[in-house]
Every structure is written in structure tokens, then in C-alpha cells.
Amino acid sequence: MSTTFSFGLDRYLVPFSFRQVPVYRFDVVVVGSGVAGSAAAIAAAGRGASVALLAKAELRETNTVYAQGGLAAVLGAPDTFDAHVADTLKVGCGLSEREAVECVVRGGPAAVERLLQMGAEFDRTPEGAIDLSREGGHSHARILHSQGDATGLEIQRALTSAVLNLPGITGFPNTFVLDLLSMPDGRVGGLLTRTARGDLVAFSAGQVVLATGGAGQIYRETTNPVIATGDGVALAFRAGATVRDLEFVQFHPTCLYIAGAARALISEIVRGAGGILRDRTGRRFMPEYHPQAELAPRDVVSRAVFAQMVKTNDTSVYLDLSQLEGDPHALFPSISRTCRFFGIDIAKDPVPVRPGAHYQVGGLRTDLDGRTGVPGLWAVGECASSGLHGANRMGSNSLLEGLVLGLRTGAASALEGGGSERAQNAVRRSREMPKPPPGVRVNLEDLIYSLKSLMWRQMGVEREKHGLEDALSKLAFWSRAVEDLGPAEPRAWELLNMLTVARLMTLGALAREESRGCHWRSDHPELATQWRQHTLLRARAEGETLEAIELELAPVRDQAMVP
């Protein structure tokens, strides 16, 4: 049984004809050069495919670079695969798919070995073994890290170096993907891009892999870089792919909060090493909210921080590192440098922190090889919903997922073949664009600020029905305004993607009348067993217009898990 909501959005952002643009042909096109995209490109090239790797910015400028915490993997006793699986299922609050969890967890050691072969360097003990730390939700120390808090940077370095040294991969940095191109039978046969010079270029490919990361930039407070605007989910949704559980957005509880400064992540490894959260009076408050205190799952810590900010009428809480064993500057050099820039000595000064949007838990529904429901289209990493995370993500599982499933997806897409025939000969808008009155225009930056503020207020750490309904109304109005009146430039197209993802997130949050994982409804604070289901959203098209969204519920495949 499904519910239908009106939508109203054009299938394609830009009209074009293959007669007017150059066309590059590859076996596989991978969009996104972070851990999942680079791993997919490497695996596809290793199977003999010609691969184009497209990046919105430089190949090294990815969300992966900002992953401070680490990579979770079981590397030996006393840890076990069963323990890692159990921890992940527990944090997933009943929505993780056991098959996906088993696949990713058991693929950890081989993925780590593959990284080591590429030259990745991880911190080691004096005896030479890989040094493992512990984070919230993990029952054992199983987190690999590099230079304390620069794990993502090191993994990206190793992967990018491998990509650049493989002759089967051609990199296309600073390339913005506008649309996936559908063939008459609905299959994806390529994509349309805009280069840094402003030229339109089409790519024709048998297989397209989306590894575009998340959508943190739709929130005012976020740890994500400016490139994280939900492009992959929006592209695929317009092409007919199904979106799953997008209402689940993980908020990181400890973002450096200094008015006027970009939010910087203060990694969970700081709390794992003994960092203590205190309110403005200096009182430690986390033991009141959860037995694991600062090492509770991130959604618990985020809500506790938010609640304490309200109680104390403060704009933040404070992270105290003064009682750590060892020198905090040596343990966390990246965090130390960032804080020192703002005059904070992390060894003695309390660090002001507050929650920020961190990880998009839901995404495009895929199988374990990355297949979406649209032939020729694959997705992996943060833009995908593989079944691993469920209703909440356990720290450091995302880099593991990107590696394990990235390699699987790349190999599977290369083996699928299918040729690189052209998509449709021409793409055009389905309706005549209105001509605005003289002087009427859309202020994109103002709309972006309004969107980010709206989502933070009404789709943030806590949600409720009336705020969600109001948000949906505003998001629909802004989408029409940008589509009808926005300039033909990347910032407007990016905003349309952000608005599309925001609407999908909000629809899922409105439908899910319970609190589970990182989705918290103040008007439905209980966990509801009848809601142990996935929310599925897909577009219903009429010609080249997406007229409506259909919402369906799907049971979790592993019915043995509770609640």
C-alpha cells in the first residue's frame, strides 16, 4: 500500500542535444572520488573496464578527507566478527539488514590489507602492530587511525595515488554532473556535465556509479564541506531510483562552535580517549543521559548536548580534555591546530561544541553490489542505502563500508558490461519556461541560507508534525521559484538538488511517526514496533515531469532482530 504526494519537478535540469555537445565514451563512469568512488574506480579498472572518474572539485577534495575518527575493522582477538556485527545491529535500532552488516564487517580485514598494499600508513604501537582505539557503540578497540585524527586524509591520499597510477582510469576534476541520461527503455546510458570552463559535455557509458557522498550542506550547522549538497540522490531520484530511509540524518554531537567560523569536527576519538562534556557551570552531564556517558551512540549524545544547551540557555556545551592521559596536542594534532587558530589551548581550555549535521544515513536503495532499481545505475557510500547502518550509523563504519562495498560495486559494474550506446538523441523541457517580470529574480544565496536555517530548526535533532508540514510547504514553493526563475548556473542547479533532497528527507520524517535511531519526533517520542519498516520514496513521472512521489513501507528482511 502506498501514499502519494504531489511533487512537480522537471526530469532534466538542462535542455541539450547530442548534436551540440561533445560525447566521451567509457565502459564505467564513477561520480565522486572519495573512499567509495575511488575504490569502485580502482576495482572496475582492475576488471579491464575503461573508467571515467568525475569529481565536483579536485580529486582529493572529498568528504573522506574530513573523516578524523578512523576505520573500523576486526583485526584479531579479543575482537570478533560476531561482536562487530552485534554492535552494528544494536546501533542500527532494528533497521539494519543483517546480510549487509555481515558482508561489510567480514570484508574488513581484506579491505585494510588492500589499503596497506596501496601504501596507506596507520598509527602503530611500539611493538609495530596497528594501534586500535575504541569509539562510542563499539564493544572493542577496533578503530584504525592515522596521525591521531587524520585518518580520512591518509586514506584519500593512498586511494588518489592509486587512481592516478592506473592507466585504465581517466580523471575529470571540477566537473559538475547535471543529469543522468535515460534511454527510451528507462535504462541509464550516461550523464550530462558542466566543466570548469562552463562547457556542456556528455558521457556515454554502459554503467554509471554514483558515489557522491551526503547532503550535510542543507543544514546550517554541519561538519560537511561545501561540496556535500546531495547531488547523487537528487540525480538518481529524477532518473527513477528509489530512496530509502532518508529521514535518518546523524548529527555529530561535538562540532567546534565559534560564532562566524566554519564548523570543525571534534572527533569522537577525543571522547574515546577520555574527553568529558561539561555545561557552562562546569558540571559533567552525560552520565545523567546514558550509562556509557560520553561513549554513548552519537544520536544519544547529540540530543543530550541539545537538551543541556536549552537547560543552561547557552549556545554550546564544552569539551574538557585537561584530564586526558598524555599530551592532547600530540594525540590530536589536527584538532589542536584548528583550536589554536581560534586561541583555544585544548590541553587546558574548555572547547565550545554543539551538534552539527554529519552523516546521511539513508540514501538510494541498493543491493550489496551497489545496484539500484534502475538498470545501468549503481550507488555506493554515503549516497546509498545498503542496509548496513539502519536507523543510525556507528562511528567509523562508513569508511569501512566505502572500501568494502566500493570494491564490490566497481567489480560488479565492470562485469555487467552493456556497451556505451548513446542515450536519447535530445533532452528538452516538458513545458515552456515562464518569463519573469522585469527586475524579478531569485536571490540564490538568500534562499540557500533560508533552506539551511529551516532544516536546522524543523528537521534537526528534534522534529514534530507541524514543523515538518510547514517545512514541506516552504520547500515546494522554493523549488518552483528556483526552477522557474533561477539562472542557468551550477549554484542554482546545486540548490535544486538540495531542495529535492530536503523534501525527500522531510517526507520520510513526517511519515515515520516514532522515534528511532537518529530520527527523533518530540510528538512521538516512543519506539514503535509496527514502524520497524523502511520508508521508500520514488517519483511518478508524466512525460518529462515528476508529478508525484509515492511513499511505501517495506519490512526489514531480517525478522529475527528486535525490536
Q: What are 10-53's pLDDT values in tens digits? A: 899 988 777 789 999 999 999 999 999 999 999 999 999 999 99
User: Rounded to an integer, what distance in angstroms lies between the CA atom of residue 509 and that of residue 220?
Assistant: 18
Q: Is 298 a catalytic residue?
A: yes
Last residue of a domain, one of 357, 385, 410: 357
Last residue of a domain, one of 342, 357, 372: 357
DSSP strands (E only) in 96-175: 132-133, 143-144, 169-172
Give the pLDDT band of residue 142 (cuts 50, 70, 90).
very high
Q: How many CB atoms lie within 10 A of CB 62?
A: 31
Give pLDDT, residue 267. 79
**Can you give the residue range of the structural domain that contains 310?**
251-357
In a domain, 328, yes or no: yes
Per-residue pLDDT tens digits for 397-411: 999 999 999 999 999
Per-residue pLDDT tens digits for 472-518: 999 999 999 999 888 889 999 999 999 999 999 999 999 999 999 99
Give pLDDT, residue 14. 87
- 3-state secondary structure string across 489-550: CHHHHHHHHHHHHHHHHHHHHHHCCCCECCECECCECCCCHHHCEEEEEEEEEECCEEEEEE
In a domain, 284, yes or no: yes
The domain spanning residue 296 has which CATH number? 3.90.700.10
Give pLDDT, residue 69. 75
For residues 241-246, average pLDDT: 98
Question: Residue 542 pLDDT more than 90?
Answer: no
User: Annotated catalytic residue: which of 11, 194, 263, 298?
Assistant: 298
The domain spanning residue 521 has which CATH number? 1.20.58.100
Q: Return the residue matching grid coordinates 545505475.
A: 377
Counting residues of the chain whose pLDDT is more than 90, the rounded percentage is: 74
- Report the length, in residues, of the chain: 563
pTM of the entire structure? 0.93
Last residue of a domain, one of 357, 378, 398: 357
In a domain, 323, yes or no: yes
Q: How many domains does the chain have?
A: 2
Q: Return the residue matching grid coordinates 565550545.
A: 352
